[in-house]
Chain A
Amino acid sequence: MDKTVYIANGAGFSGDRFDAAVPLVAQLASCSGPRYLMFEVLAERTIAIAQIAKEKDPGSGYSPYLENYLRPILADVQKHQIKIISNMGAANPAAAARHIHKLTKEMGLAPFKIAILKGDDVTPYLDRQAIMEAETMEGTSLAGRTLSAANAYLGGDAVAEVLKTGADIVLVGRTTDSALVLGPLIHEFGWTENELDKLATGTICGHLLECGAQVTGAYFADPDFKDVPDLAEVGFPLAEVQSDGHFVITKAEGTGGCVTKATVTEQLLYEMHDPSCYLVPDVSADVSAMKLSEDGPDRIAVSGIKGHKRPDKLKVTVCIDGGYMAEAEMTYAGLNAFKRARLAGEVVLKRMRAKGYNGDIRMDILGAYSVLDGGKAERIEGKNLPFDSDYRVRLALVSGDRQTAQLLCDELGHLYCSGPAGGGGYRASVTEQMASASILLDRELIAPHIQAEVISHD
Chain B
Amino acid sequence: MTNSETMRLPLHAIAHGRAGDKGNVSNISLIAYLPEAYDFIAAEVSEKKVEALFAHLGAGAVKRYELPNLQAFNFVIQDALDGGVNASRSLDRHGKTLSFILLSKMILDIPKNLVPENSPYLKPDFNWQ
The dominant DSSP class at the B interface is mixed
Contact A376 B56 (CB under 8 A): yes
* B 43-71 to A, binary, CB cutoff 8 A, 1 in contact else 0: 00000000000001110000001010111
Q: Kindly state whether residue B92 has any CB partner on chain A within 8 Å.
A: yes
Chain A residues positioned under 8 Å from B104 (CB to CB): 372
B23 CB, min distance to chain A CBs, angstroms: 5
- A269-B29, A291-B69 are known contacts. Are A322 and B87 too (CB-CB below 8 A)? yes
With CB as the reference atom, state the residue of chain A lying closest to B103: A222
- CA of A322 to CA of B84, assembled, Å: 12
User: Are B90 and A375 in contact, CB atoms less than 8 angstroms apart?
Assistant: yes
**Beyond A372-B97, A372-B104: 10 further Cβ-contacts under 8 Å?**
A222-B16, A269-B29, A273-B27, A274-B65, A275-B65, A275-B74, A322-B86, A371-B92, A374-B58, A394-B91
A360 CB to nearest B CB, Å: 7
Residues A374 and B17 in contact, CB atoms below 8 Å apart: no
Q: Which residues of B contact A360 (CB under 8 A)?
A: 89
Q: Closest B-chain residue to A434, C-beta based?
A: B86
- Is A344 interfacial (CB-CB < 8 Å)? no
Output the least CB separation between A230 and chain B (Å).
20
5 pairs of residues in contact across A and B, judged by CB atoms under 8 Å: A219-B18, A273-B25, A290-B69, A371-B92, A396-B89
Question: Contacts A262-B16, A265-B31; is A273 near B76 (CB within 8 Å)?
Answer: yes
Q: Does B107 contact A (CB under 8 A)?
A: no
Decide if A290 touches B70 in the complex (CB within 8 Å).
Answer: yes
Binary contact track A397-408/B, C-beta < 8 Å → 1, others 0: 110000000000
Given contacts A45-B86, A379-B56, contact A270 B69 (CB under 8 A): no
B3 interface hit (Cβ, 8 Å):
no
Provide the bound-state CA to CA distance between A272 and B70, in Å. 15
B120 closest partner in A (C-beta): A224
Report yes or no: B87 in contact with A398, Cβ–Cβ below 8 A.
Answer: yes
Question: Is A288 positioned at the interface, with any CB of B under 8 Å from its CB?
Answer: yes
A127 at the B interface (CB under 8 A): no
A292 at the interface (CB under 8 A from B): yes
Task: Say yes or no: is A252 at the interface (Cβ < 8 Å to chain B).
Answer: no
- A266 on interface, CB distance cutoff 8 Å: yes
With both chains docked as a complex, state the minimum distance between the C-beta of B45 and any C-beta of chain A, in angstroms. 15
Residues of B within 8 A of A397 (CB): 89
The 9 closest A-B pairs by CB, nearest first: A271-B20, A269-B29, A396-B89, A362-B89, A374-B57, A371-B92, A435-B86, A266-B18, A270-B20
CA distance A316 to B42 in the complex (A): 37
Question: A370 near B: Cβ within 8 Å?
Answer: yes
Partner of A371, one of B29, B31, B69, B97: B97
A246 to chain B, nearest CB (A): 16
A373's partner among B56, B67, B72 (CB-CB below 8 A) is B56
Once the chains are docked, how many angstroms separate the CA of A361 from the CA of B90?
11
> In the complex, what's the smallest C-beta–C-beta distance from A266 to chain B, in angstroms?
5
Q: Does A355 contact B (CB under 8 A)?
A: no
* Chain B contacts for A291, CB-based, 8 A: 69
Whether A371 lies near B16 (C-beta < 8 A) is: no
B residues near A376, Cβ cutoff 8 Å: 56
CB neighbours (8 Å) of A28 from chain B are none
A397–B22 Cα distance when bound, in Å, is 21
Q: Which residues 78-99 in B have Cβ within 8 Å of A in the complex?
A: 82, 84, 86-87, 89-92, 97-98
Residues of B near A274 (CB, < 8 A) are 65, 76
Q: List the B residue with the shortest CB-CB distance to A290.
A: B69
Q: In the bound complex, what is the Cα–Cα distance between A273 and B67 (angstroms)?
A: 12
The residues in A between 244 and 302 inclusive whose CB is less than 8 angstroms from any CB of B are 261-262, 265-276, 287-292
**A289 CA to B72 CA in the complex, in Å?**
12
Within 8 Å CB of B72, what residues of A?
265, 269
A433 contacts B70, C-beta separation under 8 Å: no
A364 interface residue (CB < 8 Å to B): yes
> Across the interface, do A304 and B16 meet the contact criterion of CB distance under 8 Å?
no
Instruction: Tell me the smallest distance from the CB of A261 to a CB of chain B, in Å.
Output: 8
